[in-house]
A and B are shown apart, each in its own frame.
Chain A
Amino acid sequence: KAGVTQTPRYLIKTRGQQVTLSCSPISGHRSVSWYQQTPGQGLQFLFEYFSETQRNKGNFPGRFSGRQFSNSRSEMNVSTLELGDSALYLCASSPGQARLEQYFGPGTRLTVT
């Protein structure tokens, strides 16, 4: 099976712009989680989706949003970008809520200038 894919892999944006990142989970996996990794804060949980429903959300401002489609693909959006949003954004998929092994994608490295 193909692994988790994320697009784009690298992205440079300007403050105030918005960005959409995409994650395609492993075939058959219904749960997708998103994480932000920065040098200062480490890895932090953003959201978790299961069957198109957001199951949980981390402590991030409302500028961070996401969704999941019927084919389990997920997108996250960050509006009004700030310099502090520069980070590696990782998504992970798992088979379902009862099976929580996390399979991580390669990440999208976002740089905000």
Chain B
Amino acid sequence: KNEVEQSPQNLTAQEGEFITINCSYSVGISALHWLQQHPGGGIVSLFMLSSGKKKHGRLIATINIQEKHSSLHITASHPRDSAVYICAVRSWQTSGSRLTFGEGTQLTVNP
């Protein structure tokens, strides 16, 4: 079982729909990142959070440390939101800290 599990793997929505992507993890973490990757490879960091909720424009990220679960919400989705969304957790080990990534969620928003 992967340390970081995302669902769904693929998501198709119509423009304007409310979208939720989920991330569950099984290790102790110091922070959780939500990343966006567009075709061509460039990755943008959307959020880094260790508790509660953060909002940026139409994007909202929440985390429940006790349940080891995070969600990324997109309100009023738009075709330009089409991308791969990746959840990553930062965990500490005896050798230092590292990011462990989920497999990503491919989001397609149709006009």
Binding site for B on A (CB under 8 A): 33, 35, 37, 42-45, 48, 55-58, 88, 90, 92, 100-104, 106-107, 109
Contact yes or no, A56 B98, CB < 8 A: yes
Residues on the A chain within 8 Å of B76, using CB: none
Residues on the B chain within 8 Å of A45, using CB: 98-100
Contact yes or no, B42 A42, CB < 8 A: no
Contact with A along B20-62 (1 / 0, CB 8 A): 0000000000110101000001111100100000000000000
Contact of B41 among A33, A48, A106 (CB under 8 A): A106
Residues on the B chain within 8 Å of A102, using CB: 33, 35, 45, 48, 99
Shortest Cβ gap from A30 to chain B (Å): 15
Interface of B is mostly: strand
Contact residue range for chain B? 20 to 34
A104–B34 CA distance with the chains assembled, in angstroms: 13
Closest B-chain residue to A103, C-beta based?
B45
Residues on the A chain within 8 Å of B88, using CB: 43
Residues on the B chain within 8 Å of A104, using CB: 35, 42-45
